[in-house]
Amino acid sequence: MAQDCRKWFHNELTGMEAEKLLIAKGVPGSFLVRQSHSSPGNFTLSVRRQDSFAHIRIQNTGDFLSIYGGEKFATLTELVNYYRENRGQLTEKNGTIIDLLYPLFVDDIICESSRWFHGHLTANEAQNLLLEKGKNGSFLVRESVRQPGSYVLSVVTGDCVSHILICRKPNSKFDIGGGPEFSSLGQLIDYYSQSPMMDKNGGLPFNATRLNVSTLDKRIAQLEKQKSRGQYLSGFLEEFEELHQDTHEAPRTEGSRPYNQFRNRYKNILPFDSTRVVLLDANPADPGSDYINANYIVPPVRTCSAFYF
C-alpha cells in the first residue's frame, strides 16, 4: 500500500480545484495532498466523501508534520501511509471516520521529467546500461524503435534484461499485453510496482528500483530541476521521501514498544536493537528506562583495566 508522495502531491491546487479534480477523476475515498493556500507552509489533505469533501490541514512545523496535533511524522509519505494503514485514526470533528482509499495521481503523460524515462535507446543500449549500472529489478522505460508511439519497459531479471512492450492504444491509454489500461506511463509503472508481473519462469521481472544516471553532475542537475505547476515534487525532496520508505532487515523492536514510543521524535526513525545505546543506571522497575533513540555508529570500544601497554 505504501506509495511515495510524488504520485499524489498536487502542489498548488486550490480547494475548489481539488474538489473539481476529485469529482472528475476520483471516486468516494479518493484523496490528494496539496499546499495550503490559507496557511502558507502547511499542507492540505483533500478527500472525497460519499456526498461531500473533507479538507484536513497538515501542520508543518519545519521539524515534523502532524494532523490536529496528533502523531508526528518526518515526511508526507509516512503520514499518509500511517493513516491509510490505520483505519479509524483519521476522523472528522464529529467522530466520522475518514478513509484514504484511492490516491489521485498527478497526470504525467509527458514523462520526460521522470528519471526512469530514457527516451530513444535501442535494446542493446538499454541492456548495456542496465547491466553496467543496475541490479536485479532495476528498470528503465524507453521509446520503442520498432513500434513508434509505443514504449518498452527494460528490466534486469537475474543476469539478463527483459524487454516488455508497452502499447499505446487508440484512446491514448497504455497497457501491457492486454492488461489493465492506464492514462499515463507513470500510473502504469506505479501499478506494476505494486502488482509485479510474472515472467515465464515464475520470476518477478519488475521492482520499482531506480537506475542512477552515469555521472554525478548530471544526477545533481536532474534533481535540481523545478517541476511546473501541478507536477511532481523536485528531485531532492523526492529522493528524501524515498529514503524513508527503505525496509530494514535488522530488528528495531525496543523502539516500537508501547512504553518507548513517546521517546521517539518520529514514528519511523528507530534504533536497531543490536547497536542501540543502552542507558546505564536504569530502574529495573521502570520499563524502557534504559532506552534512548540512538545508535552507535561503530561498535563501542571495550577496555579492560588488566591490560597494560
User: pLDDT of 214-231, one tens digit each?
Assistant: 445 555 665 566 554 444
d(CA 188, CA 195): 10
* pLDDT-above-90 percentage for the chain: 17
d(CA 288, CA 255): 9
CATH topology of domain 15-103: SHC Adaptor Protein (3.30.505)
CATH topology of domain 111-194: SHC Adaptor Protein (3.30.505)
Query: Do residues 264 and 233 lie in contact, with contact meaning Cβ atoms separated by under 8 Å?
Result: no
Mean pLDDT of the chain, nearest integer? 76
CA 225 from centre of chain: 19
- Contacts for 78 with CB less than 8 Å, ≥ 6 apart: 244, 266, 267, 268
Bigger pLDDT: 308 vs 180: 180
Which own/partner pairs from 90-98 qualify as long-range (CB within 8 Å, at least 24 positions apart)? Answer: 90/56, 92/54, 98/47, 98/49, 98/54, 98/56
Q: Do domains 15-103 and 111-194 have the same CATH topology?
A: yes
Domain boundaries of the chain, sorted by first residue: 15-103, 111-194
* pLDDT tens for each residue of 140-181: 888 886 766 678 999 888 788 889 999 877 776 888 887 888
Q: Is-above-0.75 flag for pTM?
A: no
* pLDDT tens for each residue of 6-33: 568 887 789 999 999 999 888 888 999 9
d(CA 95, CA 101): 18
